[in-house]
Amino acid sequence: MRILFPFCFLLFTLPSLTIQAQILDSENKLTITLKDQTKVTLYGQAATLSDEKSKNYYYLPCALRLSKKRDGTPEFLFMKFTSDEKSATGVTQGALLHLLMEYGLSKEQEVELAGVLKSRYNGALLKGAADVEPDGDNSVRIISATLGSKDLTRSLVFNGKAPTLPGSKIAIAAMLDKQGAQIFAATLEKTKSIADLSLNLSFNYTVRVPAARGYIKQDWSKMDSLVQKDSAVFKETDDKNYGEKVANTVAGVLFGGAIGGALGWFGSGDEDHYSYDELRQFYRKLEEQKVITLRFEENVASEKVDKIREAFFDHFLNSFTDKDGKGAREPSTNEKEAMPDIKHGDSYTFKREIREIVKQKKIQIFDLSYAMAVKRSHQLTENLASWYNQTKDNPKCVGIVNLSDPFFLYRDINVILDIEAEEMMGKEVNYVTVNIRKKRSGEGSFDFQQDVTFDRKTLEKEGNRVTVTYSKAQDASPELYEYKVQWSLRGGLVFPPNDTTWKRGSWQGLSLAPPIMPRTIRFEADLADMKENGIRNVTLQLRYKKFGNEVETNIGVNASGTDAFAEKMIFMDRNTQGYAYRLVFHDKDLGPIATQWDAKINTDYMYASIPKEIRNKDQNWIKMGLDAAKVLVAVDENGNVSKEQKVLDKFRKIIDIAEKKN
Amino acid sequence: MNYRVLLSGMAILNLVFGLTVPAFSQAVSLSGKLTCVLINKEEVQLFPAQDNPMGFYYLPNNLRLSTTETLQPEFLFMSWKSEASAETDNGVMHWLLTWGLSKEQEKEVQNCLIAKVDSNAIVMGALTVEAPEKFLLSGKNKDLIALLQGSLSSGAGIPTQPGGKSASSFRFLGEDARKVEQTLNSLDKWDGIFIEMPFYWTDGHPAHTLRLAAKTIMQSGTKCSECVIIPK
């Protein structure tokens, strides 16, 4: 076990000494300031199993800077963006920040540093960058109140680990919102000092440090004086005074010849066999007499030095004694502590070699000094402004963009229900549906189509406005769209009755006016005048177009009544501006006398003026009137005027509004 | 025999130290300490290397606001308000601190060594030290200290190599922004507040603490018109 243990240690120790290609010496450190005030910290290469100072130096990460493309353009982008379109979330305004950084000396700095090393430090050589490792997964840190605030910055992404090789790049990207962009841009543009963005890289590097200095010295020349002294007090000892026994034995047996005679080192009798406790006492005696000296310098707890002493006692036993197998007794307390698995007490005899060592008065020194590899931290911090100033006049790096690319724009069509239609909803109109279509010319594109329906419920719930939105992408004329409208009317009618052709939409939007419009016709008569002329009732007969058909409405005033005024709402086609009318006077003796059909435009008021022919009893005229009044009811069950009785064709030029062509 | 002694020696070390990795200091002679005073009155403490009495290492020194290549202080205070506001809404502050000798100061120290030690004496660089994660704020004006601590948005650690920088960014909201704004017109309010950077030997024992008066930072910052932006 004792022999194997050192080999195990060797196996664990050697790899750690050989795998490290670059080992830095903590005791060989330089700091050099270059002309541009860049401070460079260098470590010398550690010499293997030696404290000698190497002249080969490696530098720690320094000179953090913006990286550049091959053409010299800094790899930096600060792009403020806005849009012609308003956005409730404000996502169309802000700024994009993207930059790539690297560290390490430039060629010029390396040349300068190598020159300083060579001239100032006796021919020292610059070998390159020191091996470093990132200080954890968060070894890149962004220091910025603006970018660190979620209120001002929508997103921030960057490499978590600092790169370990000079020239490797670190990417940082941020999307700032509108306010964050303004604040950040202000710190860049309004100052020449610094920006609200500093970057910090944290590294670890490994150096070899002198961990401890110490030695164990065995000075066998001091045995002489010890033996001489002990010989003077040589005496029989009791069994418990082990140290005296061994010392006396060594004095008497080992040195009996020279001092007392070289008598049998392996002489017979129990005096040649020693227990574990006897040897411990003997070892302590040797320490007291400075034959064995332990010296160890280190800021460590004292129990570690005690362990060294224990370990060296093991070494002493292993080197100078053999177990003779004559134990067969209960192990002592000390033995149990040193060898927990011991079952029987051991018995030891001195090896033959010790006589030569002691006789030759050898001095043996065990060097306990050793070095260890420890990790040290190193940080690199710089502010953005120093790099930004190099780039702010470079349009490749800093810019403003208005997000007006039609590809990303939308076309909003406001569909508004006309006020007249609102009034008619639930009365003359059940609902209206508008179908909007956007045909796209781009290859592989899809057409857009959407329906919107207004009825009384949606009108109450959502109002009279609906917005239909389509993308302007993939089309040569993104503003153009088409539509068609269908109205559902009282009585189960639809207008237009068939799905008609698509109409081109206007850029303003769509106003859904019903095809018919309400008009309130006010009709008045002079009751006294009617009575005086024998007229019992007068009726205003109106003919007008509704959904393209000629329809009739009658409004009457009775002379026996009290109201000389009557009114009625009619719904006539929007593309007409007037109506045909006639008056039917009901003579108390002759019956109904109808006037000729005439036309009226742009007025909703009619007065029942009794014709002078009736007042004058013009028989010819009255006869024509009586004839005309023979057919007073000319509508069928659907309210349409029979073909034979239609009159509007005669007034088409007056009543119809020429249809505008879009 | 020699081989066995070597192995046994290794075994001893393994027994003693096992897997523990104690921290160790750079080997310098503490008794050889000497002090050089720079033109700016800054004291620089140097120690000779244990195995090279002519090679001197200095303790961290000269804590200051760092400067740009054009010698502008690396300091920014910016506050802002909306058009509708009568007073400042919010603000940010950002600074970078550094320590160590400039190239000129290194020459001063080099000349000091030649005068005090020997013509062969040479400045080797800074001592290897460790530092905590963040600097400390100390002083009597507890309100202002609490305001700074509460507003610190992010900050980098204390640099352990000369010329390294420590960046800090603060975000002041509402009343805090207005308070700091006021202090820039009345720098005495910063009296007695210090930025402290404690450094430790690599075995964990205190080595040296650098202190910088916050008022000095603010004075440097406010002298630079391009470092302070306050809405009118």
pLDDT in tens, A533-556: 999 999 999 999 988 889 899 999
Instruction: Please state, in angstroms and rounded to a whole number, the distance separating the CA atoms of residues B210 and B63.
Output: 6
Is residue A487 left, alpha or beta, with left meaning phi > 0 and alpha meaning psi from -120 to 50?
Answer: beta
Tell me the three-class secondary structure of A105-171, residue by residue: CCHHHHHHHHHHHHHHCCCCEEEEECCEEECCCCCEEEECCCCCCCCCEEEEEECCCCCCCCCCCEE
Does residue A57 contact residue A41 with C-beta atoms inside 8 Å? no
Contacts of A379 in chain B (CB under 8 A): 156-157, 159-161, 164
Q: Which of A16, A149, A198 to mutate to test the interface with B (most CBs of B within 10 A)?
A: A198
- Is there a contact between B16 and A307 if contact means CB atoms under 8 Å apart? yes
| Chain A residue whose CA is closest to B94 | A196
pLDDT at B19: 28
| Mutual angle of helices A4-18 and B2-17, in 10-degree steps | 80
Strand pairing report for B75-80 and B228-229: parallel
Does residue A131 contact residue A206 with C-beta atoms inside 8 Å? yes
Give the CA-trace dihedral at A188, A192, A196, A201, to 10 degrees.
110
The number of C-beta contacts closer than 8 angstroms across A and B is: 236
**What tokens appear for A548 in the block?**
């393209």
Q: Which residues, listed in sequence order, are joined to residue A44 by a DSSP beta bridge?
A: A25, A57
A residues 491-510 closer than 8 Å to B (CB)? none
B residues 154-183 closer than 8 Å to A (CB)? 154-157, 159-171
- For chain B, what percentages of helix, strand and coil (3-state, to nearest 5) are there? 30, 35, 35
pLDDT in tens, B198-229: 998 877 788 899 999 999 999 999 988 888 88
A247: DSSP letter: H
Coil, strand, or helix at residue A452?
strand
Instruction: Please state, in angstroms and rounded to a whole number, the distance separating the CA atoms of residues A308 and A310.
Output: 5
Say yes or no: A386 contacts chain B, CB-CB below 8 A: yes
Of the candidates A385, A154, A194, A152, the residue with the CA atom closest to the CA atom of residue B93:
A194
Contacts of B72 in chain A (CB under 8 A): 192-193
Say yes or no: A380 contacts chain B, CB-CB below 8 A: yes
- Is there a contact between B92 and A307 if contact means CB atoms under 8 Å apart? no
Of the candidates B58, B47, B25, the residue with the CA atom closest to the CA atom of residue A374:
B25
Contacts of A136 in chain B (CB under 8 A): none
pLDDT at A335: 76
- Is there a contact between B94 and A5 if contact means CB atoms under 8 Å apart? no
Establish whether the linkage from the previous residue to A496 is cis, with ω within 30° of 0. Answer: yes
pLDDT at A357: 74
**What tokens appear for B9 in the block?**
């020696």
Instruction: Please state, in angstroms and rounded to a whole number, the distance separating the CA atoms of residues A398 and A75.
Output: 11
**CA Rg value for chain B:** 23
Q: Which residues, listed in sequence order, are joined to residue A295 by a DSSP beta bridge?
A: A215
Contacts of A176 in chain B (CB under 8 A): none
Instruction: Please state, in angstroms and rounded to a whole number, the distance separating the CA atoms of residues A516 and B187.
Output: 79
Instruction: Please state, in angstroms and rounded to a whole number, the distance separating the CA atoms of residues B17 and A304.
Output: 8
DSSP for A301-325, written as a single string: -HHHHHHHHHHHHHHHHHHHEEE-S
What distance in Å separates residue A94's CA from the closest CA in chain B?
17
A348-370 burial, b for 16+ CB within 10 Å, e for fewer? Answer: bbbeeebbebbeeeeeeebebeb
- Is there a contact between A366 and B92 if contact means CB atoms under 8 Å apart? no
Say yes or no: A183 contacts chain B, CB-CB below 8 A: yes
Instruction: Please state, in angstroms and rounded to a whole number, the distance separating the CA atoms of residues A339 and B187.
Output: 72
pTM of the model: 0.61
What distance in Å separates residue B191's CA from the closest CA in chain A?
25
- From the list A9, A31, A379, the residue facing B159 with the nearest CB is A379
Q: How far is CA B11 from CA A284, A626, B17, in A?
A: 21, 143, 10
B127-136 average pLDDT score: 87
Say yes or no: A385 contacts chain B, CB-CB below 8 A: yes
* Per-10-residue mean pLDDT, chain A, length 662: 34 40 84 90 84 89 89 85 66 83 93 94 93 90 90 87 91 90 80 82 87 77 62 46 55 42 35 76 82 69 63 79 69 75 72 72 77 83 78 74 74 87 85 92 86 90 88 83 90 80 83 87 95 94 89 93 92 89 94 93 91 93 93 75 87 73 42
Number of residues written out for chain B:
232
pLDDT at A662: 41
What distance in Å separates residue B216's CA from the closest CA in chain A?
17
**What tokens appear for A581 in the block?**
């009318």
pLDDT at A325: 64
Coil, strand, or helix at residue B201?
coil
| Chain A residue whose CA is closest to B132 | A377
Contacts of B106 in chain A (CB under 8 A): 33
| Chain A residue whose CA is closest to B76 | A194
Q: How far is CA A365 from CA A142, A287, A295, A315, A369, in A?
A: 55, 14, 11, 13, 12
Instruction: Please state, in angstroms and rounded to a whole number, the distance separating the CA atoms of residues A291 and A226.
Output: 9
Contacts of B96 in chain A (CB under 8 A): 194, 198, 381, 383
A residues 40-99 closer than 8 Å to B (CB)? 41, 51, 53, 60, 62
pLDDT at B75: 94
**What tokens appear for A184 in the block?**
């950040």
Say yes or no: B27 contacts chain A, CB-CB below 8 A: yes
Cα B163 to chain centroid distance, Å, stands at 9
**What tokens appear for B94 in the block?**
């950002």
| Mutual angle of helices A276-288 and A242-249, in 10-degree steps | 80
- For chain A, what percentages of helix, strand and coil (3-state, to nearest 5) are there? 25, 40, 35
Give the CA-trace dihedral at B91, B93, B94, B98, to 10 degrees.
180
Contacts of A33 in chain B (CB under 8 A): 101-103, 106, 163
Where do runs of H (alpha helix) occur along B24-128? 103-116
**What tokens appear for A316 in the block?**
């002493």
**Of B12 and A586, the one with more pLDDT:** A586
- From the list B51, B128, B155, the residue facing A376 with the nearest CB is B128
Return the number of other C-beta atoms located less than 10 Å from residue B36's C-beta: 22
Coil, strand, or helix at residue A364?
strand
Q: Where are the beta strands (DSSP E) in A418-481?
A: 429-438, 448-455, 465-471
A residues 447-466 closer than 8 Å to B (CB)? none
- From the list A26, A311, A386, the residue facing B16 with the nearest CB is A311
Mean pLDDT of chain B: 84
